[in-house]
Amino acid sequence: MKKQILIPIAAIIILMAFFTECKEEDPIETKGNITGTVTEAGSTKTIAAAIVTVSDVSQSYATGKDGKYEITNLEEGNYTITVSKAGYVTDVKQFTVKAAQTTKGDFALEKEVPKLKVNPDELDFGTDTDQLPFAISNENDKTEMEWQIQAVRCQKVRNPLLCRWTEVKCQMPRLIMPI
């Protein structure tokens, strides 16, 4: 009697196993992402076209007009991200990427202060000279600058006792650089 009940139950189990479709499991996500926004330090102003470099995989990206960037499909692990833009101090940070997760990687870049050098640092017009050349350079060659020089006003001073021009007085030029 027991055999009569067990045989149909076994047959049903075998048929169910045979006709049941095996479903493949969803693949395990092994990669992650880093996303962030690049802003100017001390403000909410975003920085467009900043270069974001992932040194560990030798890839670079540019931020969009909104200062955002996204680096996708990174293997789990630690990454060094460098962000640079002319006129700003380069920033470097470390991030850990975990599988199936997005790591937040915001940067706030400091404005780079130009280092001006004037050569020569002193001009001597003497009594007969009304023009002298000089150069202004930026020792920090990554910073782009614009400036203008207001005209130098010089005038010869006549010495009434000697009845001749003896001295040249010049108002120093002013260097105007927008901030």
User: 134-160: per-residue pLDDT in tens?
Assistant: 777 777 765 555 655 555 555 666 666
Rounded to the nearest integer, the mean pLDDT of the chain is: 78
- Model confidence pTM above 0.85: no
Alpha carbon distance 42, 110 (integer Å): 8
Q: Is the pLDDT of residue 24 over 50?
A: yes
Residue listed under structure tokens 């060094």: 80
**What's the pLDDT tens digit per position in 64-122?**
999 999 999 999 999 999 999 988 999 999 999 999 999 999 999 999 877 777 777 77
Q: Which residues partner with 157 through β-bridges?
A: 167
Query: Pick from 49, 142, 63: which is nearest to 106 by CA?
Result: 63
Per-residue pLDDT at 179: 46
Domain boundaries defined on the chain: 31-109, 116-176
Alpha carbon distance 34, 159 (integer Å): 75
**Multiple choice CATH, 31-109, 2.60.40.1120, 3.30.420.40, 2.60.40.10, 3.40.50.1000:** 2.60.40.1120
Contact 49, 87 (CB under 8 A): no
What phi and psi values does residue 162 have, to the nearest 5 degrees? -100, -5
